[in-house]
Every structure is written in structure tokens, then in C-alpha cells.
């Protein structure tokens, strides 16, 4: 295949313990470390491996968001993507709007495979890939832990509640990644230098002629309920007693 | 017209408990009716189960050979065709529902709401974000169909005291052929189901090997518990992926959760927030799991578990 597109989202790093602002207006993001959504790193790694084994010619990384997303796109280029596109907007983008934007780019570029993360670890929606596949009227293979290609088809193993499900999809198709698909490579310093010369195009979201207005309104952010402080027991006998006291054994 | 359509999840033979929990959530919306749709090759038995769920007004049975397996690309246009008669379309927030519902929403040209944990009105909900580190209140527009998934760990299963009518329906919808089911592996186990079991014992990286993990299986069997695992244990290949508990695994709410050799990373804790009692066994007294545990024991699991097993039997 000619081109693979990978969507990467800029999110709060997974090591950061996210806190809600006291006034309930959002979560604290000032000065917090931002990274590529971990599932999207896996998506990019998979695309690079497909290209490296000669099954694709070009890997394009795309992000939708503020100009700061350039950092994550540069990381993507340093990992090995050939070029990057930033669709710039200062507004929050709901999954349906993100899917519409990605579809525009697919049509412009003539992409045959789109790989996304199965969920973004900030909003945890797990929607964008499925919506994109619906709008594009193409197959979706979500929660992938293995992808193989042959004769214009992909055979994808999916992590589902019952275990592992295998489906076959015709290309073009949308794939979303689960954690066990691969282990993303580390970026080396020379790659970061090289990435600075790779093309990164910016398109204003308003130039794409898609409807992106938000449908849902978030009226409040609250911290989760805290569990009551528990007890420490000294030994197995203490544990058995505590369980009996609660009527659990 | 305010009616809810719920897409039933099943394994081809019987209804999944997630559906009964979704019905409980739907009961909080205060709408005129709750219908359940069963897509299957032959959905007779499943439809009868759904009809018994308290709160369900009607069961729609759509039998078609293409519905033998739950492929989102095949089911979504059928759900979308039915949606015109409903104000809300709900599915469980399982891998089945997460795969299907966004595709339904996009076909209808609307957004989708994920993981409803609390219904404040038919258009106002609470849901977790950032692995449960924040809970947001979200308002959905009333002028279009609301498509959403339900965080099943937040709800009890609906009772089985109903007797809804069952209606068979043929849908005149073109079904795509670009997606084909091959096989499903795993899942066949005589042990209690991780997502519904009242007791769960989970093991972490500390087990060190799949042979050692037998210790967890043996202990769990001795108290009739289901077995879970941390991501680290799954990644290391000690147990299969369907046992993973957490942000990217299963979100569960057993009465008793025993975490053995699990550090308590935030992504793991997300999966057990609603457990009744959390017991932690870890040799490191500083492990974050003790911050959420109701009962904590600092000790070496290889000594503690055999001792505990014999003390309880
Ligand atoms: C300032 C601000 C305010 C916000 N306010 C709201 C609000 O009021 N209501 C609300 O619902 N949401 C709000 N959001 C969140 C925003 O709308 C979410 O990004 C959106 O809901 C997408 O959800 P998700 O990332 O969980 O999607 P998922 O479907 O979980 O993402 C899956 C995959 O899609 C791809 N993807 C998703 N988004 C992008 C992107 N932007 N660029 C590239 N790839 C992407 C990635 O590959 C990702 O792994 C706000 C965000 C910001 C920054
Ligand atoms: C995007 C993302 C999603 C994730 N999703 C999930 C998820 O869904 N579920 C999940 O579980 N994780 C998830 N993780 C991984 C998570 O961050 C942790 O890495 C993982 O949970 C650690 O597993 P663990 O507790 O088994 O291992 P460790 O953190 O290595 O902990 C092992 C513990 O065992 C104790 N120990 C060692 N030997 C003994 C002994 N002999 N007796 C008693 N105790 C002992 C140690 O003190 C330690 O606390 C995710 C991570 C990312 C980045």
C-alpha cells in the first residue's frame, strides 16, 4: 500500500496524577508534562514496522489541536514518520469532529490504512476510530493486538472481553491499537535532529470545511469519591479475622 | 416520544449480564419505554431472557445469518435503522458496546457519550475521565438521538420478574461484506466470570511466571473466586489478556477483591474502584495499593497465600 495515516493526540502524560481544579472548572494542566497518547505511540510504531517490511511507502502522522501539538508531531517524526500534518484549532474537538477532520485528510491524501489508538487516556472515550470507519464506510478492526496483511486484506487479532477475536477486513480500513500490539521504539538524539528537517504542514481547521461544533457540554469536574481509610493486619490470622468480621468468608 | 433502545450483548446462546445492568441504568432515565434489540442468527432463547428483565417493555428480535457474530460494521446500520423510533440508544461499555456504539452514532451523524456512571436526568450524566481521576457532569442536546454506553460496574443487574412482548423484525438494510469473522479464542473456563463474580483474586508481576500463577488459580478456586491480573502479569504472559483488570482491561465491582503482588498503579485501581472490600497482600509496605485497600497485609505472597488458603478451608 502507498500511505498509512496515524492519528496522534497530545495528552497529559500517563505518569501524571491528574487533579481536579478546586473550582470544578477543569483539571490542572498548567506545567504538567504532556506526551503522545500511549496507544498512539503503539499505532505509529505499527505503521513504521509495516513500512519497514516493505508493505507501505509512507507514514503520515496527524494531530488535531493547538500549535503545541507540534511537539508530539516532532516526536512522531523522530520515531520515523515521513511527514506530519497539524490541523490547528483552539477549540476542544469531540470524537465525531476529529473523525470528520481525519476523513477529509484521507480523501486528500488517498490513504489506505489509518491506525489510531483504541482510546485517548485523557477523555477515555474510545470512539474516534469507529466513527471514522463509519463515515468512511470502511471496515474497523478495534483493540488490535496483531495485524497481518495479504492480498489487499488485513487479518487482525482483537482483544475482546471473551479473549482474542480474529477478523479479516478488506482494505482500506481503520485499525485501533491495544497495548500488546507492539513495544514502541525509543527515540535517539540523531533522529530528533533529523526530524527537524522533515515536513510538518499546518492546516487551519476552518479551512477544511467540516462541522466541528461541540455537542456535549461539560458543566462540572469533580474529584472521585475517596475510599475510607482501611486497616493493616499483622498476619494471616488477623486477615482471616478481618474478613470474618465483615462477613466476607 | 421518549423511548430507549438497548442493544443486547450475548454469546449466541445466552444474554450477557452487561445487558441487565444497562437496563438498570435505563430505568433511571424516566422515559416511557425501554426496548431491547437482539441481533443473532437465532435469537429465540436470548430474546426470552431479555423479556424477563424487569423494566423492559418490548424485545425486538432481528434474526439474520449475518448476525451470528457481533461485527460492528454489520450491526451498526441495523441499529441505526431502528434508531428513528427512539430518543436514546444505549449499549454496555464492554468491548462489544465500545466497538459498536460509536459506529452507530456516526451513522446517525451524532456524537456519543461513553461510560455513563450516573443518570441525573434523561440528558444529564456523570462519567469518569483520566482513568477515573476526575468525574465530569455532561449535558447532551435534547434535539437529537442520544447514543451512549453504560459503565456496567456502576449498576446492579435488573431483576428477572418481567414479561415483555417479543416481536420479530426483518430489516431492509444493506449489510457490508468487507468485514469477516474468523474465530474467537480463549474464554472457555469453568471458573466464575471475572466481570460478574462476587469474589475476585488478582495476581501481579510478583508471581514471576505462569507456573507460579497457579498459586492464584488454586487459591481462587478454593474460595470460589474469579481470577484477574494486572497488566504487567498479562504482558509477561503469565495469564491471557481477558484477565486484565484496569483502565484498559475490565472494570469490575466484586464484593471482595484480593490483590496479590500488585503495586496499585492508577491504571489498575481504575478497574476496582467500585469493589466492596479491597484486600491487598504485598511485601512492600509503601506500595500504593495500601492507600485504597480496606484490609492490608504486608508479607511475602508465597508464604501468605498457602497459609491463607489453609486457614480458610
Ligand atoms: C481545552 C479543552 C476543553 C475541552 N472541553 C471538552 C468539553 O467541553 N466536552 C468534551 O466532551 N470534551 C472536551 N474536551 C476533550 C476533547 O473534546 C476530546 O479530545 C475529545 O472528546 C476526544 O476524545 P478522546 O480523545 O477520548 O477520543 P478517543 O476516541 O478515545 O481517541 C481515540 C484515538 O483517536 C485519535 N484522536 C482523538 N483525538 C485526536 C486529536 N485531537 N488529534 C489526533 N488524533 C486524535 C487518537 O489516535 C486516539 O488514540 C476538551 C479538550 C480540551 C483540550
Ligand atoms: C496507557 C496505560 C494503560 C494501562 N492499563 C492498565 C490496566 O488496565 N491494568 C493494569 O493493571 N495496569 C495497566 N497499566 C500498567 C500500570 O501502569 C502498571 O504498570 C501495572 O499495573 C503494574 O502491574 P503490577 O502491579 O503487577 O506490577 P508492579 O508494579 O511491578 O508491582 C509488583 C508488586 O508486587 C510486589 N511484590 C513483589 N514480590 C512480592 C512477593 N513475593 N510477595 C508480595 N508482594 C510482592 C511489589 O512490592 C510490587 O508492589 C497501564 C499502563 C499504561 C501506560
pLDDT at B131 (0 to 100): 87
CA distance from start to end of chain B? 56
Q: Which of B133, B231, B255 to mutate to test the interface with A (most CBs of A within 10 A)?
A: B133
Q: Please state the domain extents for chain B.
A: 3-168, 199-312
Q: What is the pLDDT of residues B199-234, one digit of tens each?
A: 999 999 999 999 999 999 999 999 999 999 999 999
A152-182 pLDDT, tens digit each = 999 999 999 989 999 999 999 999 999 999 9
Q: Domain B3-168 falls in which CATH fold? A: Rossmann fold (3.40.50)
Core vs surface per residue B119-136: b (16+ CB within 10 A) or e: beebbebbbbbbbbbbbb
DSSP state of B175: P
Ligand nearest to the CA of B259: 2
> Which of A60, A85, A67, A106 shows the shortest CA–CA distance to A200?
A85
* Residue of the CA atom closest to atom 39 of ligand 2: B206
Helix (H) or strand (E) holding B113: strand B112-116
Contact residues on chain A for B304, CB-CB shorter than 8 A = 236
Render pLDDT for B227-272 as a digit per residue (tens, 0 to 9): 999 999 999 999 999 999 998 899 999 999 999 999 999 999 999 9
Distance CA B93, CA B90 (A): 9
Give B70-117 pLDDT, tens digit per residue.
Answer: 999 999 999 999 999 999 999 999 999 999 999 999 999 999 999 999
- The pLDDT tens digits of the residues spanning B23-78 come to 999 999 999 999 999 999 999 999 999 999 999 999 999 999 999 999 999 999 99
Return the pLDDT at B206: 98
Q: Categorize the per-residue pLDDT at B305 as very low, low, confident or very high, splitting at 50, 70 and 90.
A: very high
Q: How far is B248 from chain A (nearest CA, A)?
A: 8
Kindly report the average pLDDT of chain A as a whole number. 95
Closest ligand 1 atom to residue A214 Cα is 9
Bridge-based pairing of strands B226-229 and A200-204 is unpaired
For residue B187, pLDDT beyond 80: no
Assigned architecture for domain B199-312 = 3-Layer(aba) Sandwich (3.40)
Residues with beta carbon inside 6 Å of ligand 1? A 7-9, 37, 39-40, 62-65, 92-95, 98, 116-117, 119-120, 123-129, 214, 216, 218
pTM of the entire structure? 0.90
- Whether B199-312 and B3-168 are alike in CATH topology: the answer is yes
pLDDT at B188 over 70: no
**Structure confidence at residue B313 as a pLDDT band (50, 70, 90):** confident
**Domains delineated in chain A:** 3-245 (3.40.50.620)
CA distance A175 to A61: 15
- Chain A positions touching B94 (Cβ under 8 A) are 161
Backbone phi, psi, residue B2, to 5°: -130, 110
Amino acid at each position: 500500500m502507498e500511505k498509512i495515516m496515524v492519528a496522534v493526540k497530545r495528552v497529559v502524560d500517563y505518569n501524571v496524577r491528574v487533579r481536579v481544579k478546586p473550582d470544578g472548572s477543569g483539571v490542572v494542566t498548567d506545567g504538567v508534562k504532556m506526551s503522545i497518547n500511549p496507544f498512539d505511540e503503539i499505532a505509529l510504531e505499527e505503521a513504521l514496522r509495516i513500512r519497514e517490511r516493505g508493505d507501505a511507502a509512507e507514514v503520515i502522522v496527524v494531530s488535531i489541536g493547538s500549535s503545541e501539538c507540534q511537539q508530539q508531531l516532532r516526536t512522531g517524526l523522530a520515531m520515523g514518520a515521513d511527514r506530519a500534518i497539524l490541523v490547528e484549532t483552539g477549540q476542544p474537538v469531540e470524537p465525531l469532529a476529529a473523525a470528520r477532520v481525519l476523513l477529509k485528510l484521507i480523501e486528500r491524501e488517498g490513504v489506505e490504512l489509518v491506525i489510531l489508538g483504541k482510546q485517548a487516556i485523557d477523555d477515555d472515550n474510545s470512539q474516534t476510530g469507529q466513527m471514522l470507519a463509519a463515515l468512511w464506510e470502511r471496515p474497523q478492526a478495534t483493540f488490535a493486538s496483531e495485524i497481518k496483511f495479504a492480498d489487499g486484506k488485513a487479518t487482525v487479532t482483537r482483544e475482546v472481553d471473551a479473549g482474542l477475536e480474529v477478523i479479516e477486513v478488506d482494505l482500506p480500513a481503520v485499525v485501533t491499537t491495544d497495548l500488546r500490539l507492539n513495544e514502541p521504539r525509543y527515540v535517539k538524539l540523531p533522529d530528533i535532529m533529523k526530524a527537524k528537517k522533515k515536513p510538518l504542514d499546518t492546516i487551519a481547521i476552518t479551512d477544511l470545511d467540516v462541522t466541528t461544533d461541540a455537542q456535549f457540554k461539560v458543566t462540572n469536574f469533580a474529584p472521585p469519591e475517596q475510599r475510607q481509610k482501611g486497616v493493616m493486619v499483622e498476619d494471616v490470622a488477623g486477615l482471616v479475622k478481618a474478613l470474618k468480621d465483615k462477613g466476607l468468608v | 416520544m421518549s423511548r430507549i433502545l438497548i442493544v443486547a450483548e450475548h454469546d449466541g446462546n445466552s444474554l450477557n449480564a452487561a445487558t441487565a445492568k444497562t437496563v438498570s441504568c435505563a430505568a433511571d432515565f424516566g422515559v416511557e419505554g425501554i426496548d431491547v434489540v437482539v441481533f443473532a442468527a437465532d435469537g429465540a432463547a436470548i430474546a426470552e431472557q431479555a423479556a424477563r428483565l424487569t423494566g423492559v417493555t418490548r424485545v425486538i428480535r432481528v434474526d439474520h445469518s449475518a448476525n451470528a457474530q457481533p461485527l460492528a460494521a454489520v450491526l451498526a446500520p441495523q441499529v441505526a435503522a431502528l434508531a428513528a423510533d427512539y430518543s436514546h440508544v444505549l449499549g454496555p461499555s464492554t468491548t462489544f458496546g465500545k466497538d459498536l456504539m460509536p459506529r452507530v452514532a456516526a451513522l446517525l451523524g451524532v456524537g456519543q457519550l461513553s461510560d455513563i456512571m450516573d443518570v441525573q436526568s434523561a440528558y444529564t450524566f456523570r462519567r469518569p475521565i483520566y482513568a477515573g481521576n476526575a468525574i465530569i457532569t455532561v449535558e447532551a442536546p435534547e434535539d437529537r438521538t442520544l447514543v451512549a454506553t453504560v459503565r456496567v460496574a456502576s449498576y446492579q443487574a435488573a431483576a428477572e420478574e418481567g414479561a415483555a412482548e417479543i416481536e420479530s423484525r426483518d430489516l431492509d438494510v444493506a449489510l457490508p461484506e468487507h468485514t469477516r469473522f474468523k474465530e474467537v479464542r480463549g474464554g472457555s473456563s469453568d471458573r466464575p466470570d471475572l466481570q460478574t463474580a462476587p469474589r475476585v483474586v488478582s495476581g501481579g508481576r510478583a508471581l514471576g511466571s505462569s507456573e507460579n500463577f497457579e498459586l492464584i488459580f488454586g487459591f481462587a478456586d478454593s474460595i470460589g473466586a474469579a481470577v484477574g491480573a494486572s497488566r504487567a502479569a498479562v504482558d509477561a504472559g503469565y495469564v491471557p489478556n481477558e484477565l486484565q483488570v484496569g483502565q484498559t482491561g475490565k472494570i469490575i465491582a466484586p464484593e471482595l477483591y484480593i490483590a496479590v503482588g500488585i503495586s496499585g498503579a492508577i491504571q489498575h485501581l481504575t478497574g476496582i474502584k467500585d469493589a466492596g472490600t479491597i484486600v491487598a497482600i504485598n511485601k512492600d509496605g509503601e506500595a500504593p495499593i495500601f492507600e485504597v485497600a480496606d484490609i492490608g497485609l504486608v508479607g511475602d505472597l508465597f508464604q501468605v497465600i498457602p497459609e491463607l488458603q489453609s486457614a480458610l478451608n
